[in-house]
Amino acid sequence: MTINITQAKQRRALNIGAKTVAKTLKKWTKKNVDVSTTTDLISLSESTDIIDAPKNYIALYTEIESNVSPGVSLVFMSKKDATALISLLKNRLDSRAINIDKIGKSVLIETTNLLSGSYLNALSRLTDVSLVSSIPAFISKDKIKNIVKYITEKSIKKTQDGVIFVNEFIIKPYSIKIALFLLFDKELLNILARK
C-alpha cells in the first residue's frame, strides 16, 4: 500500500512546510528569510540521478515511521551551503573560516529535523497518514552508493514512491540550497541499518 500524494496535496505541503521552515529560520537567525521552493513527485528510479550526482556534499537522513508506507528522508546540501548555514546560526560573517565541528554538526542535524518534520507534518495532515521522523543522523557516501544501487536494481515502478522538495533560503548575504527527498520504501531502512 502506498501513500496517495496528489500534485495538489504536494503543492499544499510545499507551501505549508516552506512557511514553517522560513518562520523558524527567521527566529533562529534573527534575519529576514526568503524561501524559494520547488517540488516534484518522483519514482525511486528517478531519484538516483539526483542523489548520486553531487560530489562534494553533506548528507543526512531520518527514518520515516508510517502506518502505511515507511521509508527515509534524505537531506543533501553542498559543503559550501552547509558552512554558510552554520555561519549564520553561529552568528559569524565569514563562512570560509567555518569548520564542521561538533557544534556545526548539531546545526545541520537541527536543520534536517526542521525540514523533515515540517514537510512530513504537512503531508501527514493532508493525506491522513501517520508520518513521523526519527532523530537525524549523518550518512556516509558508501551508504548513499548502496541506496542508489538498490534503487537502480529494483524494478521500476510507474507510481510515485516519493517526493522531492528543493529549498533555497535567501538569508543575506547567503543563498543556501538544500534538497529533501522523502522516499517511501521499507528496504531503504534495512540498507541504512547495515554496518
Residue-wise pLDDT for 119-160, tens only, equals: 889 888 888 888 888 999 998 878 887 877 777 666 444 445
C-alpha cell at 125: 495532515
Chain centroid, CA 102 distance in Å:
20
Of residues 48, 180, 169, 32, the one with CA closest to residue 113: 180
Pick the CATH number of 7-193 from 2.60.40.1840, 3.40.1550.10, 3.40.1710.10, 1.10.1660.10: 3.40.1550.10
Using alpha carbons, list the distances in angstroms from residue 77 to 12, 18, 60, 71, 164.
Answer: 24, 17, 9, 20, 13
Is the whole model's pTM more than 0.75, yes or no?
A: yes
What length is written for the chain? 195
Is pLDDT at 110 greater than 90 in this prediction? yes
pLDDT of residue 47: 66
From residue 49, alpha-carbon distances to 147, 164, 168 in Å are 12, 12, 20
Looking at residue 160, its pLDDT comes to 53
Q: How confident is the model at residue 54, as a pLDDT? A: 59
Residues 15-58: tens digit of each pLDDT:
888 889 889 988 888 888 888 888 776 666 666 666 665 567 88
